[in-house]
Every structure is written in C-alpha cells, then in structure tokens.
Structure 1
Amino acid sequence: MKKRIYLLLFSLIFSKVVAGQSIDDTFSQKKMRKDLQVFKDIRLSANSGLHKYRTIEQTDSIYKWAEKEIGKSNTYLDFYNIICQLTDFEGSLHNDTGLPEKYLKNLRKENLGYFPYPVKWIDGKWLVNYENGEIPLGSEIVKINGLPISELVQNLYKYYTTDGQNITGKRIGLRTHFSKYYRLHYGQQEKFQVAFRRNASNLVEEKTINSVGYLECYKRFKRRYSKPFDQIYYADLQDKQKYDYKQIGTSTGILTVYSFGMGNESTQEHKSYLAFLDSVFSKIIKDNIKDLVVDIRQNGGGTDPNDLVTYSYLTQRKFQENKQAWISFKKVPYLKYSYIKAPRFLRFIGAGSYNRMFQEDFYQEKDNRYYQGPLSRDHTIWEPNENAYRGRVYLLVSPAVASAGSLFAAMLAGDENTVVIGEETMGGYYGHNGHTPLGYILPESKIKTFFSVVNLEQDVPMRKNQIYSRGIIPDYEVSQTYQDYINQVDIQMDFALELIKRNSME
C-alpha cells in the first residue's frame, strides 16, 4: 500500500513536471516584459538588418504593439508568438526563433490537436495535398473552423521568415509545417470543421474531421501527393547528387545545382565540384551548346565559394561577392545571453575569436557602422573562367531558392543574356543579411533567437521589374496549374524548352 502511494505521488509530481513544460502554461507578464526588453536591446545592438526593410518608426511601432500584446497575454505560447512576429517583421530569411528543447519534446508527445492533412499552394489556392483522406485530393480549402483560409495563413506566415516582404517563400514553410503552425497560433483543436470545394466545382461542402497527433501529421506529410515532384528539396543528398548536367538534342544543355552545400576550398567535396564544372563547361564548348538551362529551383543555399565559382563559368563580367557589407558592433554584445554551450564565465574566450574575426574583416568605421575594407576576401575581384559560357541562359527559379542560392541567382539574373523563368525566390535580389549567425537565449523564457549579422549589398545591376524588398522576380512567371499538379508536370522546364525552341526558329 505504501509503495503504491509513493508511486502515485511520483506519478503526480512527474506529470506536473511534464505539464510545466507545455507551451500552453501560464507565463507571467513581468517575465514577458523582461525578455521583450532583452530581445529589443540585442536587436538594436547587434542586428545590422533591423532597419534594412523597415523604418525606425515602423520598428518602434511594432515594439509598442508587442508591449500592448503582453498586457493581453498570459501563456508561454502567447509570448512566443509575439517574439515570432517581431522576428519575422525584420525581413531576413536567416532569422529564426525557436522553442527550448523541453517544450519541443512535449509538443512531439501530443497525440491530438493537429490538422490531419498537408496542404500546398497551387494556382492561387490552398489545396489538400493528400490522397485517400476524408477530403478529396486537390480540394480547395475555403475555411477551417469558420476562418477564411486567406486570413488564417496570414497569421501563420510569421513562423517562416523570408527576405524583405516576400510571401512566396512563406508558402514553402506552410507546405511543410502547416499543421504545426496552426497548432502554435490557434492551439490544439480536437476537431476541424473544414469548408472546401472540389476541383471545378462552385459548391462549398463542409466536413468535420478529427485531429491527429504531432508525429502523425508529419508522417502524413511524408506521404503527401506532391512528394515525387518536390522531395528533392527535403532529401539528404550525397555529394554527387547535388548537381547534374545533361544534353538535350544537339545544342541545348541542362545544368542542375540542387545545393551549394559542398564545403569550402579545403574539402574534397568542393574540389570534386570544381572538377565537375570544368568537365561540363569544356564539354559545352566542345559540343557548341547555344542554349543552357540552369535549374536551381531547389537550391536553398550552402557555402562559399561554390556559388561564386559556378557564376564564374556563366558570366562575361568581372564581379565580387558584394558591393559593400557592414555590421553594427565592434564587439559581440550581450555575451551573458549568447547561445554558447559553455559556462557564462568562459564565454569571453569564444567571443574573443569572433571579435578578432569581425575586427580583421570589418575595420572601417563610419556612422556607427563597421564596413568591410578593400582587403576583405569578399571584395576579391573574380574574373570569368576561361571556359565561361557565352550563349543564352535560361535560369529556373522557385520560392525555395535562398541564401547562397539566391545570391547566385541574382548575379546571373542581372546578366543580359539571362532569361529568368519560374516563381519569385525567397532570397532577395539586391541584398540580404547573411554570412555569420549569432544566437541568443532570452533569460526568462529560454526562447532561442538567431540572426545573421552581416548586411550585404549584392553585386548586381538594377533590373526594371525588380522591387527592392522582394525576391528575384522572373521575366516569365510560370507556376503549376491544378492539372499540372495532379499530373506532376514540370511546367517550368517544359516552358523553358519550348521558349528555346521558339527562339531558335527566329
């Protein structure tokens, strides 16, 4: 009997510990205000991109909004959502705000409350991206629990950051994490009342469906209908699976680069990629290729100098990684909150090497900014490779293109012999914040927040159709229709090859 009482007490204590790790638990406004101030101070001191796309007045305004929101908030999740909104507002795809691991573990254990189907943006609509469910594949979602889908997704965009005011990239995030994002914003739902339209029907039907657990919703994502078409974006590619070249007919080539994550000059993977490029472009010259499709639609970035080396084989101009770059501090601020896995009293050691690196590279001070000087490696002038391609380039882009992928795409898009086809990229055209990330942990909530500190102006020309705060905008906007989606048709590649055919007949 005594043993049973001890077990019962242990069970109650354990359940309270686990419950205490729930994002739905209460969290004091006093702690929220302390963490909000720390978050703001860090951003003002260390984030050079804070006002890249937002004015000082706009930034002040959203922090006033955050202070008012705290006055209406009482849970940990309420505060997390405020910090996510602030993080997204800045407009950098390298920004990230995340929950502590103990909260994530609790989320993964939740066995209900999540929307049961993955979704996908097709032809201006959010469609059910799952076959053999209670709602037919390809049905347009109109409302969930009474909320119009257009209003609903606006509230979920804050969880997936993109450059500037780009929206297309946020849809990539919702394609992957719609169920989780819904739970984070609206809480756990036992059931979902879904209003939907079947394809080619004006009739709005309604169906109440049961929720699923965290793990089940991601299992279903792995069984999404579009997987054969978009799985490469999620795949853990081996070294030589990251790039490919093939020839079509007598004068057309297709160069595909899925990732620039091939290491730097010291790695064998990088050296193998250099050998691949040299071999391919030697062959292109030998075979007299007149039209080259460069497909980077799944390229989310990677490491220098893979993007720059690739561009050197595709341009006729001299170039550099950026026109200018700067950071907003001389020494890394707020070390006591830094995301370093070392005791606080030892953090100055790691920070010291970071500070030396920054001071060696960003040594020109002007108006409280620290700029890269002409001796910086990023300002090295690159020459076109001796085997650089001279024909017409058809660049395929998508919302998945980011970071080093979008830097490469921006430089190539700026060349006169390049035609850009596809959908607006997640990464910016004129610049971005990148290169070196800093991480911090807010003292009360332990929320983790990361951002890249180098404000870059990319070495690209002005383009008539290019908006400053947006991703790379194609010359030809081409995206899947409903039938393309159902039939898994690569309409963008088909369009490029048809355009090549038409141009060759002129």
Structure 2
Amino acid sequence: MLSFTLNAQTEVTFFVEDIPEGTENVGIRGNTAPLSWESSAVLQPSGTGYSIQLTFPQSGADLEYKFVLFERDNDVIWENTPNRSLKLPATGELITVNAKWNREQVLDISKLEPIPPELLLEDYKLVETLVLDLHPGTYRYKSKSEIQAALDRLKGAFSEPQTHQQAYLAVSRMMATLQCDHTKAGFNNQTPIINSIIHYQPDKLPFTFRWFGDEMILKENASQQNELQRGTEIVAINGIPVGDIKREMLPYIGADGATDKNREYKMEINGYDFRYNAFDIFFPLLYPIENNQVQLEIRQPGETDTKAITVTTLTREDRSALLASRYPDFPETRDEMWSFEILPGEIAKLTLNSFGLMGWKAMTIDYKAFLDAAFSEIRNSGISNLIIDIRENNGGNDEMAIELFEYLARTMPAYDREGRTRYKSFPESLKSHIRTWGDNPWYYELKPKTAMTEEGYYIFEEEGNRKKSKKPIYEGNTYLLTSPANTSLAFYTALRFKTQNLGVMIGGETGGNLNDINGGQIIFLTLPHSQIEIDSPVMGGFSREPQPNTGVMPDIVVPIKKEDLQQGRDVVLEQALALIQKR
C-alpha cells in the first residue's frame, strides 16, 4: 500500500510488521543512498511493527531493498523473497510503504501496460537460443519440425502486443512442448510482477479437488457454502464443463515424456501454502475471474440432479489458512509432510512426502536425526514390516534420499545411463539474464568425454556415490507407496527401490520417465521485457537403451475411484496392509 503527499523532497517511511518473536533488531538495506547492501539502517518499534523515515536525494531512482533481522550487523537474516522495489518519484514526495516481514511485495497489476512487440521479440530470441542451443532435452521426445512449429507459434504471439498474462501463457505453452518436468515458466522463482499476477491475486478456487477422468471431485472446502462436502462433483465452472477446462489447460502443463497422469496431478489443487499448483496459475489466466466470484454447477454424492451455487475466490494464503483451521490433519509446513508411526499389528509407517531442503518455505527438520530415530525404533522393536509412503513427494535434495537408502541398501545400483548436453560453451547472449544456486558457473565451459555425436549431444560420465552404507540395514519386508506426483528425486527414489528389488512397490505409476530425465543444474533465465523467469536444466540423463515412455510402474497397481475419495478410503494403504496380512 502506498500513499502520497506532495513535499519538497523525497521522504519514504518504511513500516514492516509480522516480525518474528525474539527479534533484537530490524533493519533495511538497499541499492540507493542513504541505503546500502553492506550495512543496515535500523528501524524503531512503531505500533504493531517497526518503522524508519529516510530521505532520498536521488529522485527518479529505481530503489531495490530488503528488510533484515540481526543481533550484530555483520550477521543478518535476510528476507527469503525477491528484492522489494520502489520507483522514487522524479519530484519530491512523501511516501509510506507498508510491508510484512518475509512476504513478497504485491504489485498493482491493474496498472501494467501491454508489452510492445519489439521488446517481446528480444525476449523471443533468448527463448529461441535456450531451446535450440542449450536445452538437453529439446529433441528427446519431439522432432525438429515440431519444435520449430512451437517456436513459430511463440514468435507469432510475440509479434503483437501482449499483456504479461498473455506472455506468460505463450511462454508456458512453448516450454511444455519440450515434455520436461524441470522446464517451465517457473512457479517458484518468478519476478515480483509475475508473482503478483500468478500467486497473489484473490482468484483461487476455495476448495481442493482431484480428477477422476473428466470428473472434478472435491476434497476439502474453504468456502462458506456448506453444500461443498467431500465427494461433491464440480460439473462446470462459470458455465464451462470442467472436462473442457482440463483439455484447454493440458498444453500448458510440462511433464517428462508421456506421463500424462503426472500432468493430471499437476492440474489438481491440494491447497498447501508451501506448494504451487498449476491449476491455480492457469485457470485464472485462461478464464479471468470477475469480482472474485465464480458460479459452480455441482452434483452431490448419490444424486443425479445438479444445482448452481456461487462461491467467492480467495488468495492462496487465505485458502490454506481456512483449510488448516477446518481440517486438523491439513499440513501447514513442509515439515509436517514427514511422520513416523507404528500401526496396529506392529507395522511401521514412514511418510516422507517432501525432500525439499532448499529455497522457498523449505523443510527445517533434522532429517538425519528423524530417520535415525525411526529406524532405531524399528530395529529395537523387532518390527518386520515397513511401509514407506512417498505418494505426495515431488522431489528435492539428493542427500535426503541418499540418507534414506543408507538404511535400506548396502550399495548403490549401477544404472545404464549417461549424461548429455547439447553445448560445450554456454551461449553468451544468455549469461547476463540467468541466475542459479552456487557461485561457480562450472557449466559455462564443459569438458565432455566425446566429440558431438551424430544426434547432436556431448557425452559425460555419470558420477555416483558408490560408497557402502555403514548403517544397520533394515532386513524386514518393505513396501513403497507411489503415485503420479513422484517426479525428480522422488522418481529416482522409486526407480532405485525397484531396480534394487528392495521390496514391493504399490500404488500408481510415477512421474519422471524410464528414459531418464533432464535435471541436475537448473538455470533461471529471466526475460528482460516480459519479466518471465524460465526454469531450464543444462544437462540431461539418458538411458543408453530405449525404455518404455512411462514412469516407474508399481509391482501392484491400485486404481483409485471417486467413491474411494467420497468414502475417505486410502485403498493404496489398504492394499499394503492386506498384503502384509497374507504374508
């Protein structure tokens, strides 16, 4: 929120609230004097927060800044958000900026102007370079003519003025063509403009749901409409059949190869505050919402007739808070995605639904101590059956899966795979527009073991951890529960479990792909004019021999029906327990 009063000089009052308890000092740092990135201007307690008034002699500057917490000024805690920004007026004014700690700045998107085609075409050239000269999986699933047709479609769109919303859709469709789970107009690493459009508007449906074919079946209700009970079928939204919405959205959803069940999973809403759902992003872009309301046509369980109701849309944050207040088991943090319990019959159940240690709303759990305590209890209690549930795990940090397998297998398997890139020297035109984790851009100049192959790849030796585990290995029966949500590291977890024959895999086909996936080092390319950030890997893993174009298939596939959701049944877990009973 900004308020302006004419004055002789540019004075800005910064106010921030929601400061964590126990904080000693609150400061602000920035790129324009009197602020700097090296030292903090200290805010003073003010009402429900902290404030400071600063005079900026350089009017017209583009100010970037962040709030910090500290005891000593050389050891600060930064906000885990993009830099905040403020255009200082060219004439003297008095400005008040109200903010909340660690909450990204929300911009007024109603004031965004369409982007001119001459600027969009400069962005297009960067996308073209990324796709044709760098991305390792450009031709993994698509022919050159198919890729060129997708690029031509993007260029055609960018030859006309585009809103930021239209540009985001066009880029998303282009990147989804590559059929790579790690390649997309990003959800997690966007610029403030795009984040304000796709994440922070009150345009999210006030419920969670799952797809069963073309049927959208409600799970949890955050609206004020009591008719929306678990198992209710959403037949249409604003008069549009939900099956049509699903088909319209599908071309914008990336996944590895032909794993369409994973695409379907991404078009569901789970409502977690710490995860972004593609449906939340693309539905308001494809079907703009007016006055924060949508009309639903619904059919309640056991009924044939439908009825119309109107619901108010919400922000992601408000929806998550409402769901957490109404449903005691609804997770509020990633840490709550891990649990350990002993079920009746002396069966251990280890739920590991995230491997996310880095970035936005990361896990804070001491995962090594957690796993050590769980396996110690299993060992000391003589438990002979262990269920490991990763059905909501989308991947994350390798070290977490490595630590898990220290208790399950003595050695690492040998995979018949190789690493590939499509470049040796990183394209110069992209360098000034990318960022990534780490300070060493090792990927700028690569040293492949071969010359370029006829297929246009450079080959690299795959390095793996071949050390033998020194931990006590669990010798009982192990059951791994999987689903189409399992991509990236979760896919590799399922693949290793099955490759090493560590137990019985039960549930649904995973995401990922048996032909391997693009991943490892991910770069974040920001298009300078549309401000769209694109996630892209620089290297891909490739199976040396062609494999089925699928994820990892369970030993026992368990179909889930809408009636199971309506009745609150976990049929996958039931299958695992029934198998244990037989044994």
TM over 0.5: yes
Correspondence 1:277-292 to 2 at 5 A: 279=376, 282-283=379-380, 287=382, 289=384, 291-292=385-386
**Is 1:55 equivalent to 2:148 in the alignment?**
no
Matching residue of 1:346? none
Q: Residue 377 of structure 1: SS of its match in structure 2? A: coil
Deviations 1:135-181 (A, max 9, x none): 53232122223322112123334565332233333434531443443
* Distance in 1, Cα, partners of 2:553 & 2:496: 13
Shift of 1:401: 2.0
Matched letter for residue 319 of structure 2: R
Normalising by structure 2, we get a TM-score of 0.67
Correspondence 1:60-139 to 2 at 5 A: 60-70=148-158, 74-98=162-186, 99-105=190-196, 110=201, 114=203, 116-121=205-210, 123-124=212-213, 125-128=215-218, 129-130=220-221, 132-133=224-225, 135-137=227-229, 138-139=231-232
Shift of 1:275: 4.0
* Amino-acid identity (%): 19
Pick one of 471, 490, 499 that aligns with 2:579. Answer: 499
**Is 1:27 equivalent to 2:141 in the alignment?**
no
Q: Residue 334 of structure 2: SS of its match in structure 1? A: coil
* Distance in 2, Cα, partners of 1:341 & 1:255: 33
* Distance in 2, Cα, partners of 1:50 & 1:202: 47
Tell me the number of residue pairs that the alignment of Structure 1 and Structure 2 aligns: 465
* Distance in 1, Cα, partners of 2:115 & 2:560: 45
Gaps of 5+ in 2: 9-89, 96-105, 272-276, 359-363
* Distance in 2, Cα, partners of 1:341 & 1:393: 37
Deviations 1:344-375 (A, max 9, x none): xxxxx95654446x54xx544442533333xx
Q: Contact 1:337–1:441 at 8 Å: present in 2 too?
A: no
* Distance in 2, Cα, partners of 1:392 & 1:109: 46
Change in CA separation of 1:269 and 1:248 when aligned onto 2, cut-off 3 Å = same
Matched letter for residue 574 of structure 2: D
Matching residue of 1:192? 294
Pick one of 427, 430, 435 that aligns with 2:512. Answer: 427
Pick one of 283, 291, 300 that aligns with 1:182. Answer: 283
Normalising by structure 1, we get a TM-score of 0.76
Shift of 1:409: 0.7
Q: What value does the CA root-mean-square deviation take over the aligned residues?
A: 4.3
Q: Residue 419 of structure 2: SS of its match in structure 1? A: strand
Change in CA separation of 1:489 and 1:320 when aligned onto 2, cut-off 3 Å = same
Q: Residue 152 of structure 1: SS of its match in structure 2? A: helix
**Is 1:161 equivalent to 2:254 in the alignment?**
yes
**Is 1:406 equivalent to 2:501 in the alignment?**
no
Deviations 1:325-354 (A, max 9, x none): 122222332344432399xxxxxx956544
Matching residue of 2:463? 377
Change in CA separation of 1:304 and 1:63 when aligned onto 2, cut-off 3 Å = same
Q: Contact 2:301–2:566 at 8 Å: present in 1 too?
A: no
Change in CA separation of 1:258 and 1:108 when aligned onto 2, cut-off 3 Å = closer
Correspondence 1:405-484 to 2 at 5 A: 405-416=490-501, 418-457=503-542, 468-478=548-558, 480-484=560-564
Change in CA separation of 1:180 and 1:425 when aligned onto 2, cut-off 3 Å = same
Gaps of 5+ in 1: 343-348
Matching residue of 1:244? 340
Q: Residue 444 of structure 1: SS of its match in structure 2? A: coil
Change in CA separation of 1:65 and 1:135 when aligned onto 2, cut-off 3 Å = farther
Matched letter for residue 247 of structure 2: Q
* Distance in 1, Cα, partners of 2:417 & 2:378: 28
* Distance in 2, Cα, partners of 1:78 & 1:354: 32
Matching residue of 1:212? 313
Deviations 1:232-254 (A, max 9, x none): 4x62318xx7463646535x443
Shift of 1:322: 6.7
Shift of 1:395: 1.5
More strand by share: 2
Higher relative contact order (CA 8 A, sep 6+): 1
Matching residue of 1:39? 127
Matching residue of 1:345? none
Matching residue of 1:308? 402
Matched letter for residue 404 of structure 2: T
Q: Residue 154 of structure 1: SS of its match in structure 2? A: helix
Shift of 1:88: 1.7
Shift of 1:312: 5.1
